[in-house]
Amino acid sequence: MKVEQALALIRPIPDYPKPGILFQDITPLLSDGNAFSAVTSELATFANECDVVAGIEARGFIFASALANQLNCGFVPIRKAGKLPHEVFSQNYGLEYGADTLEIHVDALKNTRQVLLVDDVLATGGTLEAAIDLIEMAGGQVNQIVALLEIQSLDGRKRLANKFPNIRLSSLVIA
C-alpha cells in the first residue's frame, strides 16, 4: 500500500472531545496492517541516529514503539500522571482544549544520549514541549521529533522552533 492511501484512512471527527475541535481519528489507519506498515516505514525514513525512541501517551506510543522496533532501539514511554510505577519527573502542559501532566521515570534515560521523540499529532506544541523538558530532566537530549500529523494553523512548529531551535522536526502530513 502507498503512504498516500494509508493516510487517506485518517478520518476527521468534528466536535471531539469538545465542541470546536476537529479530531483526527487514526484508528482506521492502525487497524489496516498494510497501512500501518506503510506509515511506519515512511516515518522511519525521517529518523536520524538515536539511542532510544520516546513516545507520548497514548497514540504516540503506537508509532514510537513501532519505530523503535524498526530502528532496533529501545522505547521509553512518556505517560500521563500517575501511570508510571517508579519515581518520576513531572511536567504540566497546555493542550488545544485543556491542560494535563506528563511524567517520565527518573532513570528512563540512564546512559542515553540521543532521543527520537514521537507523537501522533503536533498541534499547539505544548505536549511535545513538555516531553522535551522531561527528557532533558531525565538526562537525555532530543535530537529529533517525528509526528504523523501536524496542524499548521495552531503554530506548534513555530513554538518548538523558538524554544528548541536545534531540534529537527518532521511531520508526515501537514494539515
Of residues 11, 42, 49, 59, which has the active-site annotation?
A: 59
Three-state DSSP state, 91: strand
Average pLDDT over residues 76-99: 90
Of residues 11, 42, 87, 96, which has the active-site annotation?
A: 96
Average pLDDT over residues 146-154: 95
**Domains of the chain: total:** 1
Contacts of 49 (CB under 8 A, 6+ apart): 114, 143
Q: What is the mean pLDDT of the chain?
A: 94
What integer pLDDT is reported at residue 52 of this predicted model? 96
Q: Would you call 87 a catalytic residue per the annotation? A: no
Q: Would residue 25 count as lying in a domain?
A: no
- Backbone φ and ψ for 40, nearest 5 degrees, come out as -60, -45
Average pLDDT over residues 45-59: 93
**Per-residue pLDDT for 31 more than 70?**
yes
Q: Would residue 73 count as lying in a domain?
A: yes
Q: Would residue 123 count as lying in a domain?
A: yes
CATH code of the domain containing 159: 3.40.50.2020
Q: Would residue 114 count as lying in a domain?
A: yes
Q: Would you call 96 a catalytic residue per the annotation? A: yes
**Which is higher by pLDDT, 96 or 3?**
3
Query: pLDDT-based confidence at 86, cuts 50/70/90?
Result: very high
What integer pLDDT is reported at residue 96 of this predicted model? 65
Burial class (CB in 10 A: 0-12, 13-18, 19+), 75: middle
Q: Would residue 22 count as lying in a domain?
A: no
Contact call for residues 147 and 171 (beta carbons, < 8 A): yes
Query: pLDDT-based confidence at 61, cuts 50/70/90?
Result: very high
Q: Would residue 124 count as lying in a domain?
A: yes
Q: Would residue 77 count as lying in a domain?
A: yes
Q: Would residue 14 count as lying in a domain?
A: no
Three-state DSSP state, 125: coil
Instruction: Give the domain range for residue 97.
Output: 48-174
What integer pLDDT is reported at residue 113 of this predicted model? 82
**Per-residue pLDDT for 131 more than 90?**
yes
